[in-house]
Each structure stands twice: as structure tokens, then as C-alpha cells.
Amino acid sequence: MSYKPVACEMARYNKWQNESLLGLCDDLSAEELGKDKGLFFGSLLSTLEHILYADRTLIGFFTTGVRSAFDPNAGTSENYEAYRADRLAEDAHILSLCTEAGDNWFEETFEFYSPKLGKTRPTPRWFYAAQMFNHQTHHRSQITSVLHGMGLDYGNTDVPYNPLSEL
């Protein structure tokens, strides 16, 4: 089975979830977005930026097979408004990448050296696409927990209820 249909659905899910998240964050002040909330990356905005930075890094890797330096604390945007525009553009890029990929593109492999494992192994593109989607969900759940604690209702996060789904 090709991973492409899964990637396309997850790209739509990612877009839906990020739009929901942005809808809530739009109503928060710059001070509230920048305040340390005890997340892995401190503030809501820093955590949002980490997700975007990781998306860009992983996309660069699984489209080219070339690993770039990764700084998990790197920022992506000057402020929330710039982040918002960058996030929406990246979500469109992810969806376009997935829908325009050839049927077997995600199954193509390349050699990957893992410094953590200390070895090189052939790895299909889908493996890193899955990592990207998993990573997004992991950190969004941290953000939604904070928003819930602030009394904000994030809404549904279940994949089958995605209004953007094409199934």
C-alpha cells in the first residue's frame, strides 16, 4: 500500500488542527503567547515555532535526503503575526507536497545516518513524514493542555471528524 493517501489525510488533519489552534491563539495577547507556561519550549509561541521549525527541517530532509543542522530551540518568526502567516503557508506547502507526490514517492528510500543509533540504514520517505505528523501532534497536545487550563475549549482533535478530509 502506498503511504500517499495517509500523508494526504494527515496533511489535511494538520491544516485543520493548526487552523483551530490559530483561531484560539489569535485572541491571546503577545504577552500571554510569550509567557513561560512550563512547556518543553517555555511559551506557547516558542512551542508553536518549534513545531514549524521541525516541520521545515523534516520536509527538507525527506524531500532531499540531506540532513541539515537542527536546533530544537530555533525560532522561525519575529512575532505571532509573522508566525501565523508562516504556519498557514507551510500547511499549504505540506498539503501540496503530499497531493502532488507520485504514488510511490513516499516509498523511495535513501541512506540515513543516525548519530543516536550510531549506524546508517536505508529509510523510506514515509518514515520521516510519519515522524513529522507525530511530532506536530505531540507538541500541539501540550499547547492544547495549556489552553484547556486557561479555560479555552480547543474542540475536537479526532482524525475521523476532520471536516477537510477527502474520504
pLDDT bracket for residue 65 (50, 70, 90): low
The whole model's pTM is what? 0.90
Parallel/antiparallel/unpaired status of strands 42-43 and 119-124: unpaired
pLDDT, one tens digit per residue, over 31-58 is: 999 999 999 889 999 999 999 999 998 8
Residue 9, all three cell numbers: 489525510
pLDDT bracket for residue 25 (50, 70, 90): very high
Give the integer Cα–Cα distance in Å for 141 and 167.
25
> How many CA atoms, within 13 angstroms, populate the side-chain half-sphere of residue 32?
10
Other C-beta atoms closer than 10 Å to the C-beta of 160 total: 8
Query: Quick one: pLDDT at residue 1?
Result: 81
Residue whose cell numbers read 527541517: 57
CATH number 1.10.20.140 is the correct assignment for the domain at 4-161: no
* Share of residues in the chain with pLDDT > 90 (%): 72
DSSP assignment letter at 4: H
Domain positions in the chain are: 4-161
